[in-house]
Amino acid sequence: MADREFDVVVFGATGFTGRLVAEYIAATHPDIRWAMAGRSKDKLEAVRDEMGVPAETPLIVADSSDPASLKALAARTRGVITTVGPYQKYGEPLVAACAEAGTDYVDLCGEPAWMRDIIDNYADKANASGARIVLSCGFDSIPFDMGVFALQQAAIAKTGKPITRVKGRVRAMKGTFSGGTAASFFETMARVKREPEVLGWLIDPFSLSGGFKGPEQPAGDKPIYEDDLGSWSAPFIMAAINTKNIHRSNALMDHRYGEDFVYDEMMLTGPGEQGEQIAAMVAKDRSMQDNPPKPGEGPSKQERETGYYEAAFIGETVDGERMTSVVAGDRDPGYGSTSKMITEALLTLIDTPRETTPGGVWTPAPALGQPLIDRLQAHAGLTFKME
């Protein structure tokens, strides 16, 4: 694998998020062998110049509708970053090419029905070839998956046992969701209309957990007041995908968090009447459905750089002690931070021996573990701390 032409290929480099990934790699990792890939050589050249990427950066023409081009791409590189979504519309041919070629792969997928398809159809093929297919390597779901992982590692180190009930709570966030997130939502709803049985996968928190069925989980679908936190909490839009990924991580790690593990995810809105009113407004918000951002569009550089987020993961140990891990990012979640996270995820993956992480379809925590946390803190503007 080390003798392949490239370490990394960015597929979708002409899209909004793909451009940011290319810019980030050029600025922070000039030592890696990488290439930009997309449907049009002219657009790739224009983006390369616009983003200040070195003129000698190789360009690869490849298209999701041309499996042969994806097969050729996968054979040239150790790993692929793909930002081309919705994945259920455009993603499977690249997964198939990587699974066949033994090529590592990361994406930004937050589409649980498609992820279920990929797990069912490609886990065995990837295991046979050695390809590590790691899904959801952006804001959904790295901060949340790794935040729970960090909390559980600390609890096990301290008490010898995991925390079986964890609350994921977004404390602060400034930024916008991407047009790709909105497009994925609408594509998922369209599939539900075609295949009503898919609705069960969307509702079931264990639908990505390989047949495991754990205890009943909190719904998180309406505002609640939490005495232990002194705050109102509102539904969090990314919870539907993050919770599934975290339960899959637990299953892939032989239930390191326990077979009775309970997890939910909400957004803190503060105490009192004001907190209650904000929670009610958040619960009723339909801006992504009614006024979604368009794919390919996104916030300005200033908006990306002034964005941020902070999420806390709270639980009680077997000794009755509250433990909290906190994950914070220094850019807006959907673009600035996501472009850095997905890059560091692939760079961690290609440096991870296959004896540690064999071929298969993975979530970030079991595939990448502490080395990813270390890279995110060293390069990507994330912080992980225990309170």
pLDDT digit string, tens, across residues 311-333: 999 999 999 999 999 999 999 99
Which own/partner contact pairs does 383-387 have at CB distance under 8 Å and 24+ positions apart?
383/326, 383/327, 383/328, 384/146, 384/147, 384/150, 384/325, 384/326, 384/327, 385/325, 385/326, 386/150, 386/151, 386/154, 386/323, 386/324, 386/325, 386/326, 387/312, 387/324, 387/325, 387/326
Question: Are 63 and 36 spatial neighbours (Cβ–Cβ below 8 Å)?
Answer: no
Among residues 368, 364, 361, which one has the least CA distance to residue 95? 361
The stretch 155-184 carries a mean pLDDT of 89
The stretch 48-58 carries a mean pLDDT of 96
Res 293: pLDDT = 67
Res 168: pLDDT = 98
What is residue 84's three-state secondary structure? coil
- In tens, the pLDDT along 244-278 reads 999 999 999 999 999 999 999 999 999 999 999 99
The residue type found at 340 is K
Neighbours of 44 (CB within 10 A): 24
The stretch 194-216 carries a mean pLDDT of 94
Among residues 142, 141, 101, 137, which one has the least CA distance to residue 122? 101
When mean pLDDT is compared across 37-46, 196-205, 305-314, 364-373, the lowest value belongs to 196-205
Tokens of 113: 């029905």
pLDDT-based confidence at 146, cuts 50/70/90?
A: very high
Among residues 113, 230, 146, 87, which one has the least CA distance to residue 105? 87
Percent of all residues in the chain with a pLDDT value above 90, rounded to a whole number: 86
The stretch 224-236 carries a mean pLDDT of 97
186, pLDDT greater than 90? no
What's the rounded Cα separation, in Å, for the pair 21 and 11? 10
When mean pLDDT is compared across 31-35, 84-88, 94-98, 214-218, the lowest value belongs to 84-88
What's the rounded Cα separation, in Å, for the pair 30 and 24? 10
pLDDT-based confidence at 178, cuts 50/70/90?
A: low
Question: In the block, which residue shows the tokens 């939490």?
Answer: 226
Tokens of 342: 């997905």
Give 5's DSSP letter: S
Res 175: pLDDT = 87
Percent of all residues in the chain with a pLDDT value above 70, rounded to a whole number: 97
What's the rounded Cα separation, in Å, for the pair 269 and 255? 32
296, pLDDT greater than 90? no
Residue 278: burial class (beta carbons within 10 Å; 0-12, 13-18, 19+): middle
17, pLDDT greater than 70? yes
Beta carbons within 8 Å of 126's beta carbon, 6+ residues apart: 98, 99, 132, 133, 359, 360, 361
Res 191: pLDDT = 86
Res 192: pLDDT = 87
Stretch (H or E) spanning 104: strand 104-106
Res 255: pLDDT = 98
2 or 267: whose pLDDT is higher? 267
Res 341: pLDDT = 98
Tokens of 195: 């295949």
219, pLDDT greater than 80? yes
What's the rounded Cα separation, in Å, for the pair 42 and 61? 10
The stretch 115-130 carries a mean pLDDT of 98
Res 177: pLDDT = 65
Order of strands, sheet of 224-226, starting from the edge strand that comes earlier in the sequence: 224-226, 231-235, 262-270, 165-174, 308-316, 322-329, 382-386
What is residue 306's three-state secondary structure? coil
Give 386's DSSP letter: E
The stretch 304-313 carries a mean pLDDT of 94
Neighbours of 296 (CB within 10 A): 15
The stretch 272-296 carries a mean pLDDT of 84
287, pLDDT greater than 90? no
Among residues 343, 351, 349, 353, which one has the least CA distance to residue 379? 343
The model's pTM: 0.96
